[in-house]
Structure formats: structure tokens, C-alpha cells
Amino acid sequence: MDQNQLFINIRRNQATRVLRRYAVERTNKRRKVHEGLFISLPIALLDNQNFRNGLMAQGRFRTYLFLRRYVMRAFSIGDKVGVFENYWMNGELAVSMTIEKIAERLNLPKSTASDHIRQLENDGVIVIERVSPEEAMDGIEHTVFILGSCINGIEHWYIDEVFAPKAGGGKNSKPRRNKE
């Protein structure tokens, strides 16, 4: 190994250690601080009649809020997919969770939870990505739900795009995730 590669590896390891330490400290503080806080929705979204009488009135809206509550913004030891490193650090608001866990936590049948997820994807408020067993740290396929992006600390949620007023009154298009 040449001198430059050794230096790069050392710097990468140092950065990883600092990031993990900071993320764990920040996560512990955030848990204490954020208990009891709310999920904010823009007033414009709440003023949108299509949103109020459409998605907000549907059972799948609570599934959406549940997913949004668990968007990963910090490093977690239990993250088998690398949501923090592979999504958050690349500007995406994402969560990885099994349908079984969603159904259990929301006290829904698994088929209803699956249906909600499918409908949310069709609504365009989430994008679903599968992580193959080869890419996961535990060798099991995982599902990642992407709910928006975060650029320069500003969060952009797909739900806001879907229900944003459009000039000309045309139907809103679904958000597209850039595939690299």
C-alpha cells in the first residue's frame, strides 16, 4: 500500500469514528429532547382541499405518518441496510422497516399495512427501494421507504410535491428518485 492510500484510509477511519460518536451522542440527546414533539406539515398542505379530503381522510395516512416518524437522521448500530450512510448522507429522507413491524406497531393486519404501502407509493408520497441480501449487512432482503430529500438541511417531502398547487390545474406528477 502506498503512502497516499494509507493516508486516505486513516482519514476515512477517523471520519467514520467521529461521525459515529457524534451521531450516537446526538441520537441520545435527540431522544430526550424530541419526546413528545410533533410531525410538522406545512399550512399550505393542510389548506389544500385535495389533501384534506383525499389522503388525510384515508387510513393509509397514519401509515405514512408512522413511516415519517422513523426517518433515519443519525447513525444506528441496528441499521442493517445503512440507511444513514446510504440514504441520509446522500440527501434522502428514508426509513427501513418490515411490513410485519409496521402492521404490528399500527395494530393492522399485514395485508392492510401492505395495501397502505402500495397505495402510498401509487399516490407518489413514498418511493420504495429493495435492498438485496448481498447488499445488506445481515444477508436478508430489506425494504427502504424514501419519503423525500434533505438538501443543505432543508427537508423536501414528496407529499408536499404531490399536493402542491399546479399552474393550469393539471394533475400532479409523482416524485421521481434519481437512479445512479
Average pLDDT of the residues in 109-122? 97
179, part of any domain: no
Q: How many folded domains does the chain comprise?
A: 2
Residues 160 and 92 in one domain: yes
Element (H, E) at 149: strand 142-151
Query: 51 and 6, same structural domain?
Result: no
Q: Are residues 27 and 53 in the same domain?
A: no
| Helix ranges restricted to H, the chain | 3-34, 43-47, 49-53, 60-69, 83-86, 99-106, 110-123, 158-162
Who has greater pLDDT, 126 or 176?
126
Q: Are residues 57 and 24 in the same domain?
A: no
Average pLDDT estimate for 9-21: 72
Say if residue 77 is in the same domain as residue 112: yes
The owner of cell 450512510 is 85
Flag whether 30 is in a domain.
yes
19 domain-assigned: yes
Question: The domain spanning residue 70 has which CATH number?
Answer: 1.10.10
Q: Would you say residue 175 lies in a domain? A: no
Quick check: is 180 in a domain? no
Determine the length of the chain.
180
For 18-44, what is each residue's pLDDT tens digit? 666 666 555 555 554 455 567 888 888
Q: Are residues 130 and 59 in the same domain?
A: yes
Whether 46 and 21 share a structural domain: no
Q: Is the pTM of this model over 0.85?
A: no
Position 165 scores a pLDDT of: 74
Q: Which residue has the higher pLDDT, 3 or 59?
A: 59
d(CA 99, CA 142): 10
149/121 Cα distance (integer angstroms): 16
Q: Is the pLDDT of residue 127 over 60?
A: yes
Claim to verify: residue 1 and residue 46 sit in the same structural domain: no
Shared-domain flag, residues 74 and 6: no
Residue 25 belongs to domain spanning = 1-37
